[in-house]
Amino acid sequence: MIRVQFFGLLRLLLRKESVELPSEPGDTVGRVLERAEKTLTGPIIHKLAAGGVLNAGTIILVNRRNVLHLQGLETPVNDGDTVALFPPGAGG
């Protein structure tokens, strides 16, 4: 299984802490998020990415690593991995 966790404002918007999805061959962050979206009350992909490019504002971590330092939405995701979506507070 792949676990997708939501934090902060996303958790409030989606009314869900996490979803678990069966892994599929060739899974990537983008494909996992598309499948996760189908289980949710609201869309998430448009909040995170447009045209395959990640929007600023939410960090996506695969097993604690920001996907921008991996392969972005094309980052491979394997069975047992955790994908965390977190929009950090920017102010101080």
Contacts with another protein, residue ranges (CB under 8 A): 5, 7-9, 11-12, 17, 54, 56-57, 59, 61, 64-66, 68-69, 84, 86-92
Cβ closest to another protein, residue 24 vs residue 45: 45
Burial of 14 (C-beta count, 10 Å sphere; 0-12/13-18/19+): buried
Q: Nearest-CA neighbor of 81 among 15, 42, 24, 10?
A: 24
Instruction: State the minimum distance, in angstroms, from the CB of residue 45 to another protein.
Output: 16
Instruction: State the minimum distance, in angstroms, from the CB of residue 25 to another protein.
Output: 28
Instruction: State the minimum distance, in angstroms, from the CB of residue 16 to another protein.
Output: 12
Tally of CB atoms within 10 A around 39: 12
